[in-house]
Chain A
Amino acid sequence: MSALQFLADGFLVALQWHNLVFAFIGVLIGTAVGVLPGIGPMSGVALLMPVTASLTSGLPPESAAASALILLAGVYYGAMYGGSTTSILLNTPGESSSVVTTLDGYQMAKQGRAGAALSIAAIGSFVAGLVALIALVFLADPLSDLALKFGPAEYFSLMLLGLCAVSGLGGKSMTKALIMTVTGLLLATIGMDTVSGVARFTYDIPDLYQGLEFLTIAVGLFALGEVFKTIIEDDQSTKEIIKVGRVLPSKQDLKESAGPITRGSLLGFFIGVLPGAGATLASFFSYIFEKKLSKDPSRFGKGAIAGVAAPESANNAASGGAMIPLLTLGIPGSGTTAILMGALLMYNVQPGPLLFSDHPQIAWGLIASMFIGNVMLLILNMPLVKVFAKIIETPSHFLIPLIIAISVFGVYAVQISTFDLILLVICGVAGYFLTKNDFPLAPLVLGLVLGPMIENNMRRALTTSNGDFSIFFTKPLSAAFLVCALLWLLIPLFLKRRGKQVIISEEA
């Protein structure tokens, strides 16, 4: 069957009424998450993971996984949409990939063109989402066919490449990012070894035998960590929100932003596919690119509509592009996709080349639902942008304790153990202090998700070679991946030594 046939089947899954509801809830909550300054896409997805698990508990396993993924992916790209609203109206980015949008978006709002800026951001995001999806449809099959040819050695090296990429771009200090990666991998070894059945680092504590639960750690580090940050650093200053005004953009606006949206989408998509890069970098690059291309660069920073259209399209395209390595290779390239992968693993679904042949319902259902979700977002955002702007005014003294309560509920509902709740709180405190001191969390989560797979593939490869490590270098594909991994670490170091500013991706 061709990809289009599969896609049609996917639409059948996505158009089931409960999946439509899940997609709608997902994008709605996602937009709210993007609008609220306290929580970003990563903590939003982490926070909702246990909640979706309990919502879908009545369904058969495969369709439960499909529905959960549809909802969580909706949160992911919904947050990308919503992030622009606060950037434009408040000059405060809701999440890091909308930082660039503040430059021109806020200026436009001050000139009374807030509505135009918001709607162009929504249209740009919509187009970008479609571009990313079309590319996903056509790349999914060839890429997963390629990945099926990989042996354990190739997989090990490829995953190492993924980890190095995220660590190389993951924060202000590469050493710290690498430390977090290795810590994540080490935490993943706790519990029963899946190959030999030996208990490792469990010290006869029953809770440790099944390993540290990914969900607990992710919710703790991201959701609670950010909540604690708001509690400690919130200055309680209330900023004035600019009135939205006329929502529809003028013909002139549309004409000016058509080019930037197209370029931003394509650029963002390719950056998104690269592991480690992600939406923040994509929005930065497309902004710089548009400024270079513009006939009159001085207009940027003073309310140029291209300065809103390009980065907003780019960050959405990047979030779509980031799904490609996750779905086809089973390797998440960013923190958010790592959490999505954790969600898939929770349902016993292994992302990767076999996903498309073993669980076509999940893979294509997800892809189709992203089409539908993007349409929903456009419909939601154009008329409802004024309503979403109101969400910003939610008093934080209600919001913060509620997020804590939802985290506790979510983790307890899935794990039913006090041990996990205590781990949750510990992770929350650790998450706050680590981020505050520039230890990035995304590499740790990535290490935690990839840990068991890396280890298994390494041991399988070494078993076939009788413990000879040269197997990773003698296989050409594997060697190529390792060289890329090394370059990914060395090039930023090299650039830094030459005194160049290296743009880093805080969201990663």
Chain B
Amino acid sequence: MNLMFDRIGSLFFALVGALFIAESRNISSSAYGSQVGPNIFPFGLGVILILLSLRLLWETYKKGVAASSSESQSPLRYKRFLFILAATVLYVLVLEQLGYVISSFAFLLYAFTMMGSKNILKSGIVSLLFSVGVYVIYVHLLKGTLPGLPAWLGV
């Protein structure tokens, strides 16, 4: 698993390096009569990144089987992670549409329950206090900007 990640990772970083090299060729190569343009730094870094990735790839093959699979003892909870990640993505996407208070409240209540909070009343109170509290303090006291309640609610 670990070696696999390193191999894929090294290929990925090499690709990133190649991309930066290729794209830096489209940037003008001089500025104000100086011979040193905005292209040289990303170009050079791209080359270094590719070299380093190749070295990492070589290292993973050198280690080969010798590296033992030291997986952690406790079961990894990817399912819980995916649910919370999905909730976070959704939260971020609807934040501007639903407004700060509603989306934060919904996200927190869901995430609290997902993380194993038994008492739904307590979770509800904490979520409500946080979302309304942050909104009132930030927008009304500190005059900051957060999306308010959606217009179609008519409040």
Contacts and interface: CB of A to CB of B under 8 A. Distances in A.
A236 B144 CA distance: 38
Interface string B1-44: 01001100110010011001001100110011011111011100
Contacts of A395: 117
B81 A405 contact: no
A413 B146 contact: yes
A425 B117 contact: no
A395 B112 CA distance: 10
Interface string A399-419: 011101100110011001010
Given A196-B38, A201-B23, A398-B126, A418 B13 contact: no
Nearest to A53: B144
B92 A408 contact: yes
A179 B56 contact: yes
A402 B115 CA distance: 11
Interface in A18-55: 54-55
Interface string A246-277: 00000000000000000000000000000000
A425 B89 contact: yes
A442 interface: no
A437 B6 contact: yes
Nearest to A424: B92
Interface in A184-221: 185-186, 189, 193, 195-196, 198, 200-201
A386 to B, nearest CB: 24
Contacts of B49: 179, 182-183, 186
A350 interface: no
Interface stretch (A227-235, A283-291, A499-507): A227-235
Nearest to A228: B81
A462 B38 CA distance: 12
Contacts of A412: 95, 146
A276 B86 CA distance: 36
B52 A200 contact: no
A462 B39 CA distance: 13
A459 B40 CA distance: 9
B69 interface: no
A233 B36 contact: no
Given A175-B56, A195-B31, A466-B35, A231 B134 contact: no
Contact of A57 (B46, B77, B144): B144
A58 interface: yes
B64 to A, nearest CB: 15
A463 interface: yes
Interface in A422-463: 422, 424-425, 428-429, 433, 437, 439, 455, 458-459, 462-463
Contacts of A233: 72, 74, 76-77
Interface string B42-80: 100110110011011001000000000000101011101
A462 B95 CA distance: 47
A179 B92 contact: no
Contacts of A228: 81, 85
Given A58-B143, A186-B17, A189-B41, 11 more contacts: A175-B56, A179-B49, A198-B38, A232-B76, A232-B77, A395-B117, A402-B126, A413-B144, A437-B6, A458-B36, A462-B40
A236 B36 CA distance: 56
Nearest to B104: A405
Most chain B beta-carbon neighbours within 10 Å: one of A193, A235, A400, A439: A193
A176 B55 CA distance: 10
Contact of A186 (B20, B32, B88): B20
Interface in B104-146: 104, 107-108, 111-112, 115-117, 123, 126, 130-131, 134, 138, 142-146
B84 interface: yes
A455 B41 contact: yes
A422 B91 CA distance: 10
A182 B32 CA distance: 27
Nearest to B36: A462
24 contacts: A54-B144, A55-B142, A57-B142, A175-B52, A175-B59, A179-B13, A179-B49, A182-B48, A182-B52, A186-B17, A193-B38, A196-B37, A200-B23, A201-B20, A228-B85, A232-B78, A232-B81, A233-B74, A397-B116, A397-B117, A401-B111, A408-B88, A408-B95, A437-B6
A425 B88 contact: yes
A439 B9 contact: yes
Interface size class of B (residues with CB under 8 A): 35 or more
Contacts of A179: 10, 13, 49, 52-53, 56
B117 A398 contact: yes
Contact of B31 (A196, A404, A416, A439): A196
Contacts of A458: 36, 41
B45 A182 contact: yes
Contacts of B93: 418, 422
A233 B73 CA distance: 10
Contacts of A409: 100, 104, 134, 138, 146
Contacts of A306: none
B45 A418 contact: no
B115 A401 contact: yes
A334 B141 CA distance: 35
A421 interface: yes
A429 B85 contact: yes
B28 A198 contact: yes
Contacts of A232: 76-78, 80-81
Nearest to A399: B115
Contacts of B32: 196
Interface string A111-137: 000000000000000000000000000
Q: Nearest 3 A-B pairs (CB), nearest first?
A: A401-B111, A397-B115, A196-B31
A396 interface: yes
Contact of A200 (B5, B42, B55, B59): B42
B59 A173 contact: yes
A54 B138 contact: yes
Given A178-B52, A397-B117, A400-B111, A408 B38 contact: no
